[in-house]
């Protein structure tokens, strides 16, 4: 986040001096950030999102003099994107369905699940016994190795592997679509 | 149009932007508008007869300080509202402080006056015409100021319009002091403020339309 800020800010400063190459880079980079940002917030995804990307890039270009060199570039750019989004939704008579408050969100990695997915996950995992659940969280969500997680929770390596396997199986049985039941092999 | 083509087109048209570019244009607009207002006051209303001696005393400058401070706060507020992602708490606190101090001063003056003098002091000779004249003088400079402020990118066009109105009225009211001989704090705080507030309200309406982007 801070690296990205420094990088974009440097491009912005060069762009303000008329450096076309830096400007091209900045706008492409911003486009790449904006596309998923708008897509996730529009019901109809695709076409409108690309329109909004273009509108925002044009605004960044046309209003570049309103960026205060002492302020973070990302906060400025995010405010413009948010303004364009709200404008668009207002024209359509809709309100944003997701809260939009954080500039960090625009520049976060978009592979991270958003709030709804996270809430679902918590609900699903709540069906497991606590110790089993912690193990799953560490291995499947936090990215620890099985050995590390096993040691943390006092399992032997084999016991941990078995526990994870059982957990996944029981969750699968409970939540997998009905048509695929019985697809798993037996222990 | 494809986004890559758009980016190419934008990058091809990239004149250098100076720091504080929009503010400089507004200052220029204020200079031009201010000159026209002085001309308007001179030709239409006439400078006050005792202008030279008034400029030696404190009252003239206290009045100018009040309206000038409101104008500067209007500039500050407009500058903040016009930049995406900026905070406006600073100018709002300043505005509240100036208004509170002025109101306090006027109240103190009012209370320490003999009862018979109070109403004449408050109404002066020109209570009715004061606010409309301020509004009209503001309208002379408004096209310059609002035109220059279009370079900003306000999230709230109405609020930015009110700030631009406050700025314009601050300038116009300060120059209106060249004509208006009223000198009590009560008169200034009530009638000058009314004219400035009316200008800010008109500015909000104009801004809503003009400051879209």
pLDDT at A102: 59
Looking at the complex, does the CB of residue A34 fall below 8 Å from at least one CB of chain B? no
Looking at the complex, does the CB of residue A68 fall below 8 Å from at least one CB of chain B? yes
Q: What is the ipTM of this complex?
A: 0.84
pLDDT at A109: 58
Contact: A53, B3; criterion CB under 8 Å: yes
The C-alpha of B148 sits at a distance from chain A's nearest C-alpha, in angstroms, of 13
A83 contacts in chain B (CB < 8 Å): 84, 153, 155
More confident residue, A182 or B148: B148
Looking at the complex, does the CB of residue A106 fall below 8 Å from at least one CB of chain B? no
pLDDT confidence bin for A182, thresholds 50/70/90: very low
Whether the predicted pLDDT of B197 surpasses 90: yes
Whether the predicted pLDDT of A95 surpasses 60: no
Whether the predicted pLDDT of B14 surpasses 80: yes
What would the mean pLDDT of A58-70 be, rounded to a whole number? 93
Per the document, the length of chain B is 213
Integer CA distances (angstroms), A49 to A12, A85, A106, A132, in order: 24, 9, 14, 42
A110-119, B176-185, B188-197: the lowest-pLDDT one: A110-119
d(CA A138, CA A120): 17
pLDDT confidence bin for A99, thresholds 50/70/90: low
A39 contacts in chain B (CB < 8 Å): none
A59 contacts in chain B (CB < 8 Å): 153, 213
Whether the predicted pLDDT of A90 surpasses 60: yes
pLDDT confidence bin for A105, thresholds 50/70/90: low
- Range of A86-90, A163-167, A170-174 with top mean pLDDT: A86-90
Whether the predicted pLDDT of A187 surpasses 60: no
- Residues ≥6 apart with Cβ < 8 Å to B140: B33, B36, B37, B40, B172
Name residues 108-147 of chain A within 8 A of B (Cβ).
none
Whether the predicted pLDDT of A45 surpasses 70: no
The residue in chain A having the minimum alpha-carbon distance to the alpha carbon of residue B15 is: A18
pLDDT at A166: 80
- Round the average pLDDT of chain A to a whole number and report it: 79
d(CA A79, CA A37): 13
The C-alpha of A176 sits at a distance from chain B's nearest C-alpha, in angstroms, of 40
pLDDT confidence bin for A183, thresholds 50/70/90: very low
- The percent of chain B in helix, strand and coil, each rounded to the nearest 5, is 75, 0, 25
Going A101 to A106 to A107 to A113, the CA torsion angle's sign is positive
The residue in chain A having the minimum alpha-carbon distance to the alpha carbon of residue B156 is: A83
Q: Most B CBs within 10 Å: which of A66, A79, A81, as the mutation test of the B interface? A: A66
What's the whole-model pTM score? 0.74
d(CA B6, CA B12): 10
By Cβ distance, the residue of A23, A31, A75 closest to B3 is A31
- Round the average pLDDT of chain B to a whole number and report it: 94
A18 contacts in chain B (CB < 8 Å): 14-16
Whether the predicted pLDDT of B84 surpasses 70: yes
By Cβ distance, the residue of A20, A28, A58 closest to B12 is A20
The C-alpha of B21 sits at a distance from chain A's nearest C-alpha, in angstroms, of 6
Q: What is the CATH number of domain A2-107?
A: 1.10.1740.10
Q: What is the CATH number of domain A115-180?
A: 1.10.10.10
Contact: B3, A15; criterion CB under 8 Å: no
A41-45, A129-133, B130-134: the lowest-pLDDT one: A41-45
Phi, psi angle pair for A63, to nearest 5°: -105, 20
- Is residue A106 within 8 A of residue A78, CB to CB? The reply is yes
Enumerate the domain spans of chain A.
2-107, 115-180
Interface A–B counts its CB contacts (< 8 A) at: 80
Q: Most A CBs within 10 Å: which of B2, B84, B212, as the mutation test of the A interface? A: B84
Q: Which of A87, A7, A101, A14 is nearest to A52 (CA)?
A: A87
pLDDT at A33: 92
pLDDT digits (tens, 9 = 90+) for B138-165: 999 999 999 999 999 999 999 999 999 9
A131-145, B21-35, B124-138: the lowest-pLDDT one: A131-145
Q: Write the DSSP symbol of residue A138.
A: I
Task: State the number of CA atoms in the 13 A half-sphere of A52 facing the CB.
Answer: 29
Task: State the number of CA atoms in the 13 A half-sphere of B204 facing the CB.
Answer: 9
Q: List residues in chain B touching A: CB distance below 8 A.
A: 1, 3-4, 6-8, 10-12, 14-19, 21-22, 82-86, 151-153, 155, 213
What would the mean pLDDT of A21-43 be, rounded to a whole number? 91
What letters, b where the CB count within 10 A reaches 16 and e where it falls short, cover B132-141? Answer: ebbbbbbebb
Q: Most A CBs within 10 Å: which of B4, B5, B7, as the mutation test of the A interface? A: B7
- Is residue A55 within 8 A of residue B10, CB to CB? The reply is no
Give the tokens for residue B9: 């087109």
pLDDT at A29: 94
Contact: A66, B15; criterion CB under 8 Å: no
């Amino acid at each position: 986040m801070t690296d990205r800020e420094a990088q974009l800010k440097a491009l912005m400063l060069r762009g303000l001096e008329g450096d076309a190459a830096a400007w091209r880079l900045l706008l492409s980079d911003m486009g790449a950030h904006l596309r998923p940002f708008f897509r996730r917030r529009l019901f109809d995804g695709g076409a409108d999102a690309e329109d909004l990307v273009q509108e925002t890039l044009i605004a960044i270009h046309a209003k570049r003099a309103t960026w205060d060199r002492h302020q973070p570039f990302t906060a400025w750019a995010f405010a413009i994107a948010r303004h364009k989004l709200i404008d668009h939704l207002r024209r359509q008579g809709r309100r944003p369905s997701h809260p939009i408050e954080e500039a960090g969100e625009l520049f976060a990695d978009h592979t991270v699940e958003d709030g709804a997915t996270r809430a679902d996950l918590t609900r699903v995992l709540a069906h497991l016994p606590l110790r089993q659940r912690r193990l799953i969280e560490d291995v499947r969500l936090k990215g620890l190795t099985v050995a590390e997680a096993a040691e943390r929770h006092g399992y032997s390596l084999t016991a941990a592997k078995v526990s994870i396997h059982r957990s996944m199986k029981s969750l699968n049985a409970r939540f997998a679509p009905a048509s695929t039941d019985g697809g798993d092999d037996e222990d | 149009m494809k986004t890559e083509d758009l980016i190419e087109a934008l990058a091809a048209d990239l004149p250098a932007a100076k720091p504080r570019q929009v503010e400089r244009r507004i200052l220029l607009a204020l200079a031009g508008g201010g000159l026209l207002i002085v001309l308007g006051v001179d030709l239409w209303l006439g400078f006050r007869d005792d202008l030279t001696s008034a400029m030696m005393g404190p009252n003239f400058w206290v009045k100018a300080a009040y309206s000038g401070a409101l104008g500067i706060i209007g500039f500050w507020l407009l500058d903040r509202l016009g930049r995406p992602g900026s905070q406006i708490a600073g100018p709002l606190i300043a505005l509240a402080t100036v208004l509170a101090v002025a109101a306090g001063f006027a109240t103190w003056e009012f209370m320490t006056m003999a009862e018979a003098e109070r109403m004449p002091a408050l109404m002066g000779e020109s209570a009715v015409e004061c606010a409309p004249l301020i509004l009209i003088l503001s309208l002379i400079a408004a096209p310059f100021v609002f035109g220059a402020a279009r370079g900003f990118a306000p999230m709230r066009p109405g609020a930015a319009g009110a700030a631009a109105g406050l700025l314009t009225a601050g300038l116009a009211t300060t120059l209106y002091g060249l004509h208006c001989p009223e000198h009590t704090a009560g008169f200034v705080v009530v009638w000058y403020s009314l004219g400035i507030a009316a200008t800010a309200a008109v500015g909000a309406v104009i801004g809503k339309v003009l400051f879209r982007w």
